[in-house]
Amino acid sequence: MYSLAIAREVPTSLSNAVTMPDNSSSSSNNKSNINYYRAKIEHSNYLQVLRKYIPVLCLPPLDELPDSMFVEDTVVAIGNKAVITNPGHISRRQEVDTINTVLQHQLGMDVTDMRDINNKNEEYKTGIATSYCDGGDVLYTGRHLFVGVSGERTNYEAISILQTGLDIEVIPIPFKQRVGALHLKSIITHIDEQTLLVPNNDIGNYVIQTMFNESSSNYDIIRLPNHATLSCNVVAVNTNSGQGGGALLAQLSNENDHKTRTILQEVANERNIQLEFVSLNEAAKCDGALTCCSVLLNI
């Protein structure tokens, strides 16, 4: 059971966050239209809903680091073990320092720092890191640890560090950012340990087929419409009990998307899961989604 979530306040520099250059949903025009105050309100609402189901430790903003509200990318944790990542984009690597301090010294977790294993050399300083990983590429379903490997935000060299640091087998899922998804969890997340949520399109088909080919166990697959990829990124809070319960935080790409809303509500009802719809529309303008803004810990 998850016992704590970590989040971080919205930085004033959010409009300078790194985005995919070919992603129309996060074009430079959309980025320039990011409303900081609206982003803060949306983020506050997100945390308010999350706190209904789990305590939240929200860290102060790092205004000099535009992507810092997306704490998911800084750490991968299972139980008391955590791996501090070395984010794929060099501009994001200072984000991990305070997360490391919180996990190791405040929470007493068993922490492996990818940067320490990686490079105590000049390569790290110039951005040519041996191993790098964004937490948004890591999907832990409760049974398997899948890691999306794009070569841009996460590479194969990070796999062994994750396996050793978390003491679990890692199943790599190769994909390229050119498919229009920044991270693996931009495409697929889990509802519970038996159920995955994925869009009904080519990239969704590819990811599911690769997962089935590489893992020994099957999953139930819930398909959302092709246009609802953003809604496939959900936060599942303590839904893996096997007896129902817990909560699912979801976002609609369009408030009038009644089909997606109905599918998610039926799935939640069947599993006795509380469904909460929240919006992070400003964060979405720079490729942010619901899971990006929190790290769930079981400590």
Q: Catalytic residues, which ones?
A: 183, 292
Q: How far is the C-alpha of 264 from the C-alpha of 228, rounded, in Å? A: 11
d(CA 260, CA 280): 17
Tokens 């899948």, residue? 146
* Virtual torsion, Cα 204, 278, 143, 268, nearest 10 deg: -90
Cβ neighbours of residue 210 closer than 8 Å, sequence gap 6 or more:
173, 174, 175
Q: What is the per-residue DSSP string for 95-126?
A: GHHHHHHIIIIIS--EEEEHHHHH-SSHHHHT
Q: Where are the alpha helices (DSSP H) in 129-246?
A: 157-166, 202-214
Task: Find residue 171's DSSP bridge partners.
Answer: 146
C-beta separation of 84 from 96 below 8 A: yes
